[in-house]
């Protein structure tokens, strides 16, 4: 059968037949009709397009006799990969794009909700707080030696020296932990980090 004959049988142009064959449409008339129903969106098929002036009446698509006798081992509601079967007449790429769009919309809604309830914080805010804490901790740790050295010169008791150094280091660490408490303030007790462990 030529492309012209197939085009006449389907009621479409020969160039459209060529394009559809490239997309995988069979060249047998009955199989081509079935393929078109399964792979082309209903609104894009000639003869099924929406006419705003026509009466609104539902059109039932009757399965071909061959479809009723299909010996396909895959269940009707799933394809070979176990995915839900494509709706008849709807392009698989269109369905995949729609599913991806819905997934991204759901993720955006989840992100918005988590920001609203305070579970999710802006990355720039977290980075700024962490940078401030690290900078302040470095300055405090570097200032311990010049501040403590004159105070410890005359001491000989090891426990006293250790206690004073420990107190200075503890103050520096608590000041750094205060910055991280700002991050934890919006979180619940189960999500908040243990600042004592810092």
CA distances from residue 74 to 91, 93, 116, 121 in whole angstroms, order as listed: 19, 21, 45, 46
% of the chain exceeding 70 in pLDDT: 67
pLDDT for the residue 72: 44
Task: Name the token pair of 84.
Answer: 């839900």
Global pTM value: 0.38
Q: What would the pLDDT profile of 40-55 be if each residue is shown by its tens digit?
A: 866 655 555 555 565 5
For residues 109 and 112, give the distance between their C-alpha atoms in angstroms, rounded to a whole number.
Answer: 5
Phi-psi region of 130 (alpha: psi -120 to 50; beta: other; left: phi over 0): alpha
């Amino acid at each position: 059968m030529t492309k012209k004959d197939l085009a006449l049988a389907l009621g479409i142009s020969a160039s459209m037949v060529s394009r559809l064959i490239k997309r995988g449409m069979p060249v047998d008339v009955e199989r081509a009709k079935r393929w078109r129903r399964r792979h082309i969106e209903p609104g894009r098929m000639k003869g099924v397009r929406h006419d705003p002036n026509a009466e609104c009446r539902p059109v039932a698509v009757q399965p071909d006799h061959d479809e009723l006798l299909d010996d396909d081992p895959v269940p009707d509601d799933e394809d070979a990969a176990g995915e839900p079967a494509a709706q008849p007449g709807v392009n698989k790429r269109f369905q995949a794009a729609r599913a991806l769009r819905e997934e991204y919309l759901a993720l955006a809604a989840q992100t918005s909700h988590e920001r609203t309830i305070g579970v999710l914080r802006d990355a720039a805010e977290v980075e700024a707080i962490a940078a401030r804490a690290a900078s302040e901790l470095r300055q405090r740790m570097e200032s311990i030696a010049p501040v403590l050295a004159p105070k410890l010169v005359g001491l000989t008791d090891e426990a006293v020296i250790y206690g004073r150094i420990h107190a200075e280091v503890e103050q520096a660490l608590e000041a750094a932990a205060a910055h991280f408490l700002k991050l934890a303030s919006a979180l619940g007790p189960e999500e908040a980090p243990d600042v004592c462990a810092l």
